[in-house]
Amino acid sequence: MSTRRSFLKQAGSITIGFSILGPIACTTDNKDLALAEMPQPLTDPERIDSWIRLLEDGRIQVITGKMELGQGLSTAILQVAAEELNTSFNQLSLQLAETGVTPDEGITAGSRSMETSAMSVRQAAACLRETFFGLVVEEYETSVDNLEIENGNVLVKGVALPFTEILKSKNIEKAVFEPKELYGKTRRAFVGHPMHRPDLEKMVRGEAFYVQDLRFPGMVHARVIRTPAYNAVLAEVPEAEVADMPGFVKLVRNGTFLAVVAEKEFQAVQLQRALGGKVTWEVGEPLEQPEDIKAFIKSLPQDSNTDEDRGAYEEVAEGAAITHKASYSKPYIMHAANGPSCAVALFEEGVLHIWCHSQGVYPLRETIAKMVDLPLEKVHIKGVPGSGCYGHNPADDVAGEAALIAKEIPGKHVRLQWMRNEEHAWEPYGTAMVMEHEAVLSENGKIKGWNYELWSDAHSTRPTSGDPANLLPGRFLEPSFGTPGQGWRGGAIRNAPPIYTTNAFRLTSHIFQGPLRVSALRSLGAYANVFSIECFMDELAEKAGQDPFTFRLRHLEDKRAISCLGRLKLNVSEVSPEKGQGLGIGFARYKNSAAYCAVAALVEVTDGNPVVKKMWAVIDAGECINPDGLKNQTEGGMIQSASWTLKEAVKWNDTHISSIDWQSYPILRFQEIPKVEVEVVDRPETPPLGAGEAAQGPAAAAVVNAIYNATGVRVRDLPVGRVN
């Protein structure tokens, strides 16, 4: 059971303030997203930083500072609240991240939302239940043993007392405490079971749901005139040539940042196209175009560090029976969101309001406030789901751009949506990496020592520090905020230490700054690190004369890891690859501290063309709140990883990115998606673990190892493309 200390560690400053309030917008219908009154800033976290509120109509509002990214977080959070309050979903509403309204929970990232936000909501809901029980016991002189809770009522010997009647128009202001019981651990009527996702109906029916769907009366539309290169400078703008075009409202310029505003969206697109070909630019030094990405990366200036060194590798390597080396690489890859980024902004009465799909509304507010030179309390950001994206895509950039434009047109809602070529060409990519392994084996086929060197750019330049340089428009303003420095080093070495036992292990990281804009992309360095480690494990198994399952199991001590991999072995035990087919596996524990995930892939190679026929996974993410949600996360991760592994790579020329559409940046098409089976290991006695990024690395290794087993060709450099 969580203690108050652990709860505070999860949630930061936390107190529940239960009060009777008017309804607060919690959907993305336009009527709910219209601004009635600017929420007041959080000045007293002991009262306002709350997780549960009782609404005026008797419904219960659940509050989270996290964002729904398509991962099903909204449903899971409602499940834990429903469980503790024994309340059906139609009695609950959810308030997503919004500055001044929800807790500041930083960034929705790192697969930590269930571990932190959902568990905070769980404990707050349990405290609410026990608080109501205490009030009823005192008022009606009864025992807690006589009480039950159901759908917004406390039941006393069959008599239903609504929450509103129990409160009698009073407020409850009470700090979170350690509840006597968590129904999520003892009853599990809601958690641990598949639950219907209400948001899916809106998506399927094409109803207004995403930020892209927002429409406001009198709203105008904007488009940005993009520079031809990262380092281009705006020289001359022939405004007179577009001022008389249909729908023209305003030309917004600040340094090299240039945008057009029109009455209708297509008019804005036409203005963007017309002006884009007539603007004069001064382009700086050309981008280097390496023929050999591995050699290029290793030639860049580096910040090298020994991140781990135990067991004296040179000593255990001396006189070893078997020594094996291998070098792997991955290219720059995109988020490649299906829906281009979008935001709406309104500057009214000195306050800047923004609707966007940012994964961190509070950090973004601080960054935008500095960029547009407004006091923090004069910027209000409401999170609205976008079309789904894992990692730092351009959601923050488009919000910053919309803010800059809206400040120039007070009183008007300004809608800015990127085009497909902009999304591909200007997003922050996942960095290219090089991974080099050397290991020594004993005569009985055990790993004695392992030396790992990796080369990587930073994996996160999110706007978390309040520095406008981390927003794309920040670099183009006058004066310029510059470009991000070296980002978070820790992302590069995520999952770099193998989970397997060795007598000695040394990890050396070489962090460079490459030519392309990069930031966090799903699983960060774990995708490349696990891919290379798990392919190397297959190579070591072959050197040791052992099958891949046996070799891995011999080097595992964690009982849950052994169980997860053992279940996968059982699940594929009857798979018999046909001619031209191969079965491969991969395994990891995400971050070496979160979910365990074992993946197998059946791949068929015909005339050099690899096709993933089927994939299997076993995932142990501790207590499972929603099995369907966890399966969906794992399935999506496996398919996304297969696409990265087989097809995806960012390309560029001497000025900028050249892979700006789905032809030049191919991804798996629907007809190429394999059949997928996922087994969920539910451990209700343990805490939930982050799972959204657990499958990517193991899936990549499983696909590549399967290709080797089908063809005898070792692929070490991604994407696979054709197998020769």
Task: Quick: pLDDT tens for 466-492.
Answer: 999 999 999 999 999 999 987 788 899
Task: Quick: pLDDT tens for 189-201.
Answer: 999 999 888 788 8
Asked whether residue 724 is domain-assigned, the answer is no
Residue 713: how many other CB atoms lie within 10 Å: 14
- Does residue 631 sit in the same domain as residue 669? yes
- Kindly report the CATH number assigned to the domain that includes residue 21: 3.30.365.10
pLDDT at 461 over 60: yes
With beta carbons less than 8 A apart as the criterion, state whether 679 and 619 touch: yes
| Total domains in the fold of the chain | 3
- The per-residue pLDDT for 581 is 98
- Does residue 418 sit in the same domain as residue 433? no
- Does residue 327 sit in the same domain as residue 341? no
- The per-residue pLDDT for 418 is 97
Asked whether residue 469 is domain-assigned, the answer is no
- Does residue 498 sit in the same domain as residue 414? no
Asked whether residue 589 is domain-assigned, the answer is yes
- Does residue 188 sit in the same domain as residue 302? no
- Does residue 567 sit in the same domain as residue 689? yes
- Does residue 414 sit in the same domain as residue 450? no
- The per-residue pLDDT for 20 is 30
Domain boundary among 170, 197, 224: 197
Collapsing DSSP to helix, strand or coil, 188 comes out as coil
- The per-residue pLDDT for 53 is 83
Average pLDDT of the segment spanning 211-229: 96
Asked whether residue 694 is domain-assigned, the answer is yes
- The per-residue pLDDT for 171 is 66
- The per-residue pLDDT for 357 is 95
pLDDT at 407 over 90: yes
- The per-residue pLDDT for 175 is 76
Average pLDDT, the chain: 90
Handedness of CA 287, 293, 294, 295 (dihedral sign): negative
Average pLDDT of the segment spanning 302-328: 94
Collapsing DSSP to helix, strand or coil, 637 comes out as helix
Q: What is the pTM of this model?
A: 0.92
Query: For 78-127, where are the E strands, in sequence order?
Result: 92-95
Asked whether residue 486 is domain-assigned, the answer is no
- The per-residue pLDDT for 201 is 83
Asked whether residue 182 is domain-assigned, the answer is yes
Q: How far apart are CA 447 and CA 501, in angstroms?
A: 8
- Does residue 402 sit in the same domain as residue 515? no
Asked whether residue 371 is domain-assigned, the answer is yes
pLDDT at 24 over 80: no
Domain boundary among 171, 197, 223: 197
- Does residue 378 sit in the same domain as residue 252? yes
- Does residue 115 sit in the same domain as residue 22? yes
- Does residue 38 sit in the same domain as residue 121? yes
Asked whether residue 675 is domain-assigned, the answer is yes
Structural domain harbouring 307:
296-332+429-457+492-711
- Does residue 586 sit in the same domain as residue 685? yes
Residue 225, by phi and psi: left (phi above 0), alpha (psi -120 to 50) or beta? beta
Q: Which DSSP string corresponds to 219-267?
A: -EEEEE---SSTT-EEEE--GGGTTTSTTEEEEEEETTEEEEEESSHHH
pLDDT at 31 over 60: no
| Helix boundaries (H) for 490-582 | 526-544, 548-554, 559-571
